[in-house]
Structure 1
Amino acid sequence: MSKSKLVAPDAVGRRVNHIRGKRTLHQFARLIGVSHTSVKRYEEGTLPDINVLLKIAKIGEVDLGWLLLGKPLPSDVREYRPLQFKVDAPQNTAGAKLDESDYISVPLTAGNIAAGSPRIAEEDVIDYFLFHIRALKKAGASRDLIACRLEGESMTPHLNSGDVVVIDRGIDKERIEEKKIYAIYEGGGITAKTIQKEGYHLYLIPLNISEKIQHIDLRENESPIVGLVIGAWKNLEQGIL
């Protein structure tokens, strides 16, 4: 697993210095509402608070993503997509029988339930999907799976609002993998993002380049990560399944 970081504080510091330009430390500090010593620390590699980052980005007339990353996400990240599940019409299945041991049952729930207790009450289940063991092994997933509908357009064109995603909740949520899509409980619903953690700051990075990078303060929301998105059903209501 790669341990390199998407957000490099030293590089952010150089971009802060670039935005400050010919302003003195004191002048720039007054603009963003901090002390001049704080500005100096930012330029030396201390990552500013998200509110300060937003002010700096506004003053520099740049996107928060550029301030944090310096450039758009690498194409291999933007092109990452989870497995797309579908059921093909069976061929040459005369006399074939469904072996229940080849499948596990995945509950479909509302987003707030998916983000909650590890144990899902029967009354909270909207429906069930059968998930083939081969697909489970291909994704390298645990059996602690849950499905829910996404909200928002931040991951288009790969994932759209209303798509049903399968989430592996059995992952180590302290070890963030790059180039992976995570399910995050945010704003009362489930959103899917690539993520980057810096101290108490969790940055939610969309694949849709027209969307903004979001931020969660882990001191206020300690456990926003629901799990790793391992696959999705698209256009479910249109009869793919």
Structure 2
Amino acid sequence: MSTSVFENEPVAKTVQTVGSGYSIVGRVWADDKAEWFPLSERTATAAIPAATEVLAGLGLSAGNVVCFVSRFCEVVQFAALERAAQAMGLVACHTEATPFDANRLAVYLEHLPVAAVIGLGAEILDNLEVELTSLLSSGTVVVARASAVERLTDLGVRTRRMEFVGPTVAMECDEHDGLHLDTSVWAYTADPDGRVTVAPADTRNAREAAVRTDIRGALVSEPCRCGRAGLRLVETPGPEREEGGSR
């Protein structure tokens, strides 16, 4: 795949090499540049229980409708969530996180009882032809990218922030006291300057490489007020990150 295609229209691809052990390839930001990242079937499967806990924490249960808003290149980050949704018996729908798909989300919200939207960003909000609040039910929870959080909060939408941390998705809970990290499959360390590196927790059997992200912050181990244990990331404010990439 050429560099120009990679930069302008990054797409995920299925690895065709027989016996490679990888199921999907998406994109991560490592050392301030975009790189392809292969995710093994073993790791994708191992991450499902933690992703199930995340979805249950949004109040979702069998039969609920969830809408994922992502781009092809973000398949690595969303893989566990989408597989967990299937395992939980959720009704999952998908729209691309691009201006061209904004009104597809509007159609879903208008005609389906959507309980949660995960991955909403400014590229969708800027291009909706109707007011978002007119489409959301009172109980709908929106997990939003940083570009959309302030606007959604101002609109009175129940919002939780999400952030891509290498090949993972970190999300706030209703306490809004840091981003919960998946420590069942991944291990996290912070450099002296606060930059976070993500690596497989199972260093002996995992195939994935470590990713030095451009995310900076403190890793907090104390249990959250929501009751969840495990690490949380309290970010240090930095430059606005690019939409449509796992940065």
Establish whether TM, by shorter chain, passes 0.5.
Answer: no
Query: Could you tell me the TM-score, scaled by structure 1's length?
Result: 0.25
Between Structure 1 and Structure 2, which shows a larger proportion of strand residues?
Answer: 2
Q: Normalization by structure 2: what TM-score?
A: 0.25
Higher Rg of the two aligned structures: 1
